[in-house]
Structure 1
Amino acid sequence: MSLRWIPFAACLLLAACSGAPDVQTSASTDALEAPAPAVQRKPQAEIDWSPERLEAGDAWVDCGADYRQGDGRPVLSLAYVDLRAAMQDCRATGLMRLRYKGRVTASFAALAERAGKVAGDLGIGKRILDIDSGGGSVESAMRAGDAIGENDWAIWVRGDSVCHSACVLLLAAGDMRVIVGSVGIHRMIRLRSTATSRKELGEELRRISDDLRNYLERNGASAEVYDLMTTVPNRTLRILTDQELEDFGLAGSNAVEDDLDRIRLARRCGTEFLRRRDSFRRAYEAQCVQPADAAHQDVADINACGLTLRTRYGFPDPQCPIESPMAELDGAVLAMPAEPAPADVAAGGDTGTAAPDAAEHAAGDDTSVAHP
């Protein structure tokens, strides 16, 4: 089993298991103080709180990171008041983990948008998308990804999970990704296409090509991801290697978010904090993510490794405990704001339960990268 790690620019970074902090050179200090390039993620559009139900998957909310204890309470409604009730207890931990198993559809995009909004209203600063998906709609994946990118989500693919086809676009948007399960990609198809020739099919796909390229660019992912989504036959699945994930911008720090985060952290916590965090990242990746027994690890083991010796790097930092690596994993509690009043939409939205098996709905996807 291969392990892939992408550092969470905001906080969900895990520490090294052994070894002393690195000594930074003056060149790296200059790099920390140099102005970062101008970057901008796509602002999230106003959320539509119309009645919605999960039609091709199941979701759960948990207030802890240890999935070995279970995935929490099921999400039976996407209405504001019901999502708020499901997340209320997470105010005490400052962490909300959303487990989702199913296809990437419009209702999943609505879930990502609404969960991020409700978590923000409750002052829950750490959000994890614990995903297991064989793919779905490209348009829905980009819509969900924009919500993920603007709401500080980490993304996990556990050893018992996969992230295939359109799901890969979600990884591009995450601030941090911990990946143990397989990540695969193939050609886009329109399952409800009316095309009768290659020319007509090509014209349909070109209509979303610009949006897809722009999405990958603003999230710091390589255009090679687009190339694979237009060339790998849909009947096959190209499983990405560790090196490919890094080369495509799906592993390592999300370049866009990291630029924004370093500016914020330098102002709040100082460049010395950033130097220690950078040293910590390198040691963690070498000693926790890629140890000799990596084949026997899962996400929980990686987390435990980092927690064991992160104090070697002076974390949690007394001045910036919440910004420190792994703050949410050892129970650090955010300074909760006063209880916000429910939004005007609190009474809106319909209740709905998760739909039958995703296979029954696969043909309903519009633009999709369907699992073979």
Structure 2
Amino acid sequence: MRLGVWSCLLCLLLAACERAPAPPAAPTQVQLQPPPPRVQRKPQAEIDWSPDVRLEAGDASIDCSPDYRTGDGRPVLSLAYLDLRKTMQDCRATGLIRLRYSGKITQSFAALAERAGKVAADLGIGKRILDIDSSGGSVEAAMRAGDAIGENDWTIWVRADSVCYSACVLVLAAGDMRVIAGKVGIHRMIQLSSTARSRRELGEQLRQVSEDLRNYLERNGASIEVYDLMTTVPNRKLRILTEQELEQFGLSGPNAVEDDLDRIRLARSCGVEFLRRRDAFRRAYEQQCMQSSDAAHADVAEINACGLALRERYGFPDPKCPIDSPMSELDGAVLAIPAPLPPDGAPGAMPAETSAAPAAATAEGGPAPQ
């Protein structure tokens, strides 16, 4: 009997040993990576080069120098790929294009912004300036142009003899850097081509674009107060923004969204000390070149001269990172000469025989929709 009991106990012990869990494995070291920065820019859609687009409500020209006092360069007579490339070809030597545009913000201007940025990138021209003078136009076209400008690294100028009103302000919001000497103003957006016959119908149409407009301002680092002004200031009036309001609304100086992305990239490639000097320069630049009593009466050329003289005190252009130094678009850095013109039939290129320059566009069609 005792032998049977001991046999049962032995069987139970053996079964328990078989079911005993294996010792836990040593915990593995998990490397926590910081989340990637949130890129708010809207990727540019593929450009359709087939339509024969012409500037119908403005004039454009391209120069390879930032000095507009000597002229605005060659007129843009065609938006065909090969024609734009030929117009910009000489700018490879300076690594800079200055696109002067005077006129309404229309879908053809949006096409100009998209195509000029693409051709400049193909030519290896890294510094791009939009020198704009516009009383406004289509909100939808302004957002389309702004997304292209934001994706292609443009500096935007408003010279003392120029203005940026209404929908033009949305284009201004998208620039990487904004230098403003002329007037900037906002009023209520309205579509003159609207079929609305009542306040309710007009409100419904405006609500269709309001969400897109809010998202656009957010991804470009502009204040939502810009949207409030575009929905409250009567269209027949114009709210001219002060220097303080331009800065408060995120419409002047460096773009906040692009600056956040730049800081991450520059800290890795140029070093933290570079960033500290850049930040110190920007503070001095805003105080001495943008907000001083003299700056209130200065044109873009004088503001640029002030900044170029000031940056030498902070060790710029930096020998390690000259292209990323403040105001490097004015240095005329020579970039690598890219490949020659693509052959006929290449992707994005139009055959030479179909890209003859059309006559210069005029604004005879009347004002664009506001």
What TM-score do the two structures reach when normalised by structure 1? 0.85
Report the count of equivalent residues. Answer: 331
* 2:333 match: 332
Bigger RCO of structures 1 and 2 (CA < 8 A, at least 6 apart): 1
Shift of 1:323: 1.0
Shift of 1:314: 1.0
Shift of 1:139: 0.4
- CA distance in 2 between counterparts of 1:296 and 1:203 reads 43
* 2:366 match: 361
DSSP 3-state at the match of 1:97: strand
Q: Is the 8 A contact 1:93 1:328 kept in 2?
A: no
- CA distance in 1 between counterparts of 2:282 and 2:348 reads 41
* 2:20 match: none
Instruction: Give the letter aligned to residue 42 of structure 1.
Output: K
Q: Deviations over 1:333-372 (max 9, x none)?
A: 22344446364232257543333236x332x53xx2xxxx
DSSP 3-state at the match of 1:211: helix
What stretches of structure 2 of length at least 5 have no aligned partner? 1-33
Shift of 1:242: 1.3
Distance 1:185 1:36, change over 3 A: farther
**2:359 matched to 1:344?**
no
DSSP 3-state at the match of 1:192: coil
Distance 1:307 1:72, change over 3 A: same
* 2:113 match: 112
What stretches of structure 1 of length at least 5 have no aligned partner? 1-33
Shift of 1:167: 0.2
Q: Is the 8 A contact 2:96 2:127 kept in 1?
A: yes
* 2:73 match: 72
Q: Is the 8 A contact 2:243 2:291 kept in 1?
A: no
Distance 1:211 1:78, change over 3 A: same
Q: Is the 8 A contact 2:77 2:361 kept in 1?
A: no
* 1:121 match: 122
DSSP 3-state at the match of 1:58: strand
User: Which structure is larger by alpha-carbon Rg, 1 or 2?
Assistant: 2
Q: Is the 8 A contact 2:59 2:76 kept in 1?
A: yes
- CA distance in 2 between counterparts of 1:70 and 1:186 reads 32
Matches within 5 A, 1:284-299: 284-299=285-300
Q: Deviations over 1:59-87 (max 9, x none)?
A: 00000000001000000000000000000
Instruction: Give the letter aligned to residue 345 of structure 1.
Output: G
* 1:166 match: 167
* 1:187 match: 188
Instruction: Give the letter aligned to residue 91 of structure 2.
Output: C
DSSP 3-state at the match of 1:347: coil
- CA distance in 2 between counterparts of 1:333 and 1:305 reads 23
Distance 1:209 1:329, change over 3 A: same
- CA distance in 1 between counterparts of 2:161 and 2:263 reads 33
Q: Deviations over 1:291-345 (max 9, x none)?
A: 3422431100111122224221111111111111222313222234444636423
- CA distance in 1 between counterparts of 2:338 and 2:362 reads 39
Shift of 1:37: 4.9
Shift of 1:35: 8.2
